[in-house]
Amino acid sequence: MTMFIYWIIAMILFLIGIITFVLNHKHLLATLLSLEFIVLSLFLFLFLNLMMYDFEMFFSMMFLTFCVCEGALGLSILVSMIRTHGNDYFKSFSILQC
């Protein structure tokens, strides 16, 4: 019964992350934070699935490594956008200026 509650909590966290990703499209930082929230909820799904079938947790460490790489890439894009445009608004960023 407790595993079912954990699955429901992970699903609610994932849906909240998707909703915030869809609704917060004004700033790049808010979008990146919602993407990291989605990744953490997916990590919770993965961790629960691996625990349920008694698998090793090596794949979860590899997943976290890729998530950290994705977060660093997003932050580098944010820094370069702020240096070139002065803010992180999506409306000030045009694809024609590249």
Residue ranges per domain, the chain?
2-97
Q: What's the confidence (pLDDT) of residue 27?
A: 86
pLDDT tens per residue across span 48-77: 999 888 888 888 899 999 999 999 999 998
CATH of 2-97, one of 1.10.357.10, 2.60.120.560, 1.10.287.3510, 3.90.1280.10: 1.10.287.3510
Calpha distance 28→25 (Å, rounded): 7
pTM given for the model: 0.85
Q: ∠ at Cα 73 (60, 14), nearest 5°?
A: 50
pLDDT at 90 over 80: no
